[in-house]
Amino acid sequence: MKPIIMQGVSKFVRGKPILNDVNLEVSRGECHGLIGPNGAGKSTTISAIIGRSRIDIGSIFMLGNDMRTNSRFARAKVGVVPQVSCLEHSLSVRENIKLYAAFFGLGGRHIRDRISWLLEKLELTSYADNRISELSGGIKQKISLVRALINNPELLILDEPSSNLDVSGRNSVIDLIKDLKSRGVAILMTSHAMEEIELACDRVSIISGGHVVASGSVGRMLESLGGSVIDIQCQDIEQAAQILRRSAVECFVGPSNIVCINTTFAHVRHALVQSVGVKVTERAASVSDLVAQAHCRMGG
Amino acid sequence: MRYKASFESPAWFAVWYRNYLTWRRGALLHFIGTVADPIVALLGLGIGIGPIVGLVDGQPYISFLAGGLIVTGAMAATNGEMFYGAFTRFYIDQTWSAMLYTRLSVADVLFGEVCWGATRGCAIGVIVYIVSLCFGYVSWHCLFMIVPILIVVCLTFSCISALVVSFAKGYELFLICQSVFFVPLVFTSGAIFPASQMPRAIRWWASMLPLYPSVELMRGALNGAYVPNFMSDVVILASYAVIAFGLALAVLKRRIVS
């Protein structure tokens, strides 16, 4: 059975759908990215999966356990890196991780060895005896990740795992994710860092308005955009978008640009030939284009 | 840090242990802050007012007061830990949130917190007893009765405080609770002056509240006297504990799993 199976999950708050018929599956050894704009429902989806958010319709199975009735057993085999780390500031790094192991009912030499191994893996050994209050945000983020791995989880849920990390920190997280995937760990992650999603995830689900609007392998979804996109930057984005649509160019408006897909550079330049102050460039399609496209299709 | 738990350890104990570890870092300050209040009250009221009052229920006023202050000191320490410690961990610091990503359930976390609150209260009660013993206000014969009574009393108040915490969205509620519930409770419980001084109706009403039976049990133990209402006192306290814990758990489950 797949580690995560969400079937037709809906959640309503005061009659308004927060999650709307969400279907999601994550296999063993797969890293699945859950992406979308702010307020799209990513965190609510994760809360529902780990049993912290009640659902009104549908079912969620985590590691074969029905989360409505058996969430405790499922959580014992899951690691979670939340957005807010909730580390104990007065305790040392090692004590924090040991304590978290105790919450799982784990202790003894095996856990001490595992802590040392994990700290080494994420280049944190030199911080082992430092108090959390003495450390930077990036180091705390890495410690959250180590903490989530202490119970040797079969499923890892990462909510913005590298939000405070520098480039080298992000790279070590991506390397760790790849290593975990090769060991058969299923990973579900959300991130606003699209390059991280592209590097780490095998498949993505794009969520917008509480609904999964697109799902599939990253490569195949980028191919659906035609491989490359035309990026337009100009003063009056709305007017330029209208001109393009009149010329039958498939485009969607981002916060500061227009992205055209399934078209040619010449066609776009021809459509905008009379517009002033327009910068047109061709570049490779990225996951952020997929998100912007999904958001536009949802009327966002 | 020597935690040798196995999967068979009660899950709530990890919560208790977490609180102990973080408390240990600032133990001296915590200790002085909590223990000072009842000891100052004991010495101030006992030595200052004691000679004016004379004998109360056949004993010096300060000995009478010691029994009350062991219980009220333990209650205040328990409430303080739950109101400010547990609430901060639940609502402000999101410590509970991290715990609930593990195998721990809301019931485990709440029970661990209740036991920790009761531990803090019991420790203060025992310290006030030892100080009273050192000054000769109470006898040492009752030592082995004091601890079980303190455990029952502190667990009860810990559960009641947990119920208040379950509704709280800020620290203001605790100030209101202290003023309108716990302070009147102290003055109607017979902790400071004999309950027989109060009108009958108030005395009956107070006997249904949790502090009155607590003080009655403690005084009985300190005086080595037979407590006629022993069973009913224990039943009243246990009822408060069970009902308050059950309600707190239901409310917190609704708040946490929203």
- Measure A90 CA to nearest chain B CA, in Å: 7
User: How many whole angstroms separate alpha carbon B153 and alpha carbon B241?
Assistant: 9
Q: Report whether pLDDT(B36) > 70.
A: yes
Taking 50 as the threshold, does the pLDDT of residue B2 lie above it?
Answer: no
A207 and A233 belong to one structural domain: no
d(CA A106, CA A100): 9
Judging by DSSP bridges, how do beta strands A211-217 and A203-208 pair with one another?
A: antiparallel
Nearest CA in chain A to B91: A86
Euclidean distance between CA atoms A214 and A207, whole angstroms = 7
Contact B153, B159 (CB under 8 A): no
Q: Final residue of a domain: which of A217, A245, A269? A: A217
pLDDT bin (cut points 50, 70, 90) of residue B1 is very low
Q: Are residues A128 and A242 in the same domain?
A: no
Name the pLDDT band for A38 (thresholds 50, 70, 90): confident
Same domain, A133 and A273: no
As a whole-number percent, the residues of chain A with pLDDT over 90 amount to 48
B101/A contact by beta carbon, under 8 A: yes
pTM, two decimal places: 0.86
Distance CA A269, CA A249 (A): 11
Which pLDDT band, with edges at 50, 70 and 90, does A294 fall under? confident
Can you name the residues that pair with A250 across neighbouring β-strands? Answer: A261
pLDDT band at A278 (very low <50, low <70, confident <90, very high): confident
User: What pLDDT score does B5 carry?
Assistant: 47
Q: List chain A residues with CB under 8 Å of B257.
A: 51-54
A162, A187, A217: which is the final residue of a domain? A217
In angstroms, rounded to a whole number, what is the distance separating the alpha carbons of residues A95 and A88?
9
CATH of the domain at A60: 3.40.50.300
Please give the radius of gyration of chain A, using alpha carbons only, rounded to the nearest integer.
22
d(CA A158, CA A170): 13
User: Could you tell me if A82 and A163 lie in one domain?
Assistant: yes
Distance CA B228, CA B250 (A): 35
In this predicted model, what pLDDT tens digit does every residue of A57-109 receive, in sequence order?
A: 999 999 999 988 888 888 999 999 988 888 999 999 999 999 999 999 998 89
Domain residue limits at A205: 4-217
Helix H or strand E encompassing B3? none
The yes-or-no verdict on residue B123 having pLDDT over 50 is yes
| Range name among A131-145, A250-264, B107-121, B132-146 with the lowest pLDDT average | A250-264
Residue A97, domain member (yes or no): yes
Q: Which residues of A touch B20 (CB under 8 A)?
A: none
B104 interaction partners in chain A (CB closer than 8 Å): 103
CB A34 within 8 A of CB A192: no
Average pLDDT of the residues in A44-53: 92
Q: Whole-number mean pLDDT of chain A?
A: 87
Count of domains observed in chain A: 2
Nearest to A165 by CA among A148, A146, A142: A142
Read off the pLDDT of each residue in A182-186 and give the average, rounded to a whole number.
95
Res A274: pLDDT: 63
Say whether both A182 and A44 belong to one domain: yes
* A291 belongs to a structural domain: no
Listed residues A196, A217, A238: the one ending a domain? A217
Q: Within a domain: residue A297?
A: no
Q: What is the pLDDT of residue A276?
A: 60
**Is A222 part of a structural domain of the chain?**
no
Q: What count of other Cβ atoms lies within 10 Å of the Cβ of residue A188?
A: 27
Q: pLDDT at position A275, please?
A: 66
Among A81, A52, A44, A94, smallest CA distance to A177 is for A81
Q: Which of B9, B97, B102 sits opposite A75 (nearest CB)?
A: B102
DSSP at B191: S
Beta bridge partners of A59: A7
CATH number at A239 reads 3.30.70.260
Q: Tell me the nearest-neighbour CA distance from B112 into chain A, angstroms.
A: 11
Residues A127 and A168 in one domain: yes
In sequence order, which residues have a C-beta less than 8 Å from that of residue B12 and are 6 or more positions away? B104, B107, B108, B109, B111, B112, B115
Alpha-carbon distance B101 to B98, whole Å? Answer: 5
Mark whether A232 and A109 lie in a shared domain. no
Cα separation, A145 vs A77, in Å, equals 15
Residues of chain A contacting B24 with CB distance shorter than 8 Å: none
Flag if A88 and B1 touch (Cβ within 8 Å).
no
CB A26 within 8 A of CB A185: no
Q: Two tokens at A128?
A: 């082992």
A55 plus A144 within the same structural domain: yes
Contact B98 A104 (CB under 8 A): no
Instruction: Identify the weakest region by mean pLDDT among A249-258, B71-80, B191-200.
Output: A249-258
Test B26 with A95 for CB contact under 8 angstroms: no
Q: A95: which 2 tokens?
A: 């004590």
Phi, psi of A240 (to 5 degrees): -60, -40
In a domain, A206, yes or no: yes
Q: Is residue B8 over pLDDT 60?
A: no
A80 in contact with chain B, both atoms CB, cutoff 8 A: yes
Same domain for A132 and A180? yes
**Is residue A295 situated within a structural domain?**
no
Q: Does A61 touch chain B (CB under 8 A)?
A: no
Residue A177 near residue A31, CB atoms below 8 Å: yes
| Interchain contact, B25 vs A102, CB within 8 Å | no
Confidence of residue B3 (pLDDT cuts 50, 70, 90): very low
| Gap between the Cα atoms of B102 and A100, Å rounded | 8
**Shared-domain flag, residues A146 and A23:** yes
- Does some domain include residue A298? no
In this structure, the answer to whether residues A96 and A237 fall within a common structural domain is no
Residues 6 or more apart whose Cβ sits within 8 Å of residue B59: B223
Does residue A300 fall inside a structural domain?
Answer: no
Identity of the residue in B18, B25, B257 whose CB atom sits nearest the CB atom of A51: B257
Q: What is the ipTM of this complex?
A: 0.85
Q: Give how far Cα A142 sits from Cα of A54, A80, A106, A115, A150, Å.
A: 29, 13, 21, 13, 13
Rounded CA-CA distance B189/B176 in Å is: 19
- Tally of CB atoms within 10 A around B42: 22
A156 and A260 in a single domain? The answer is no
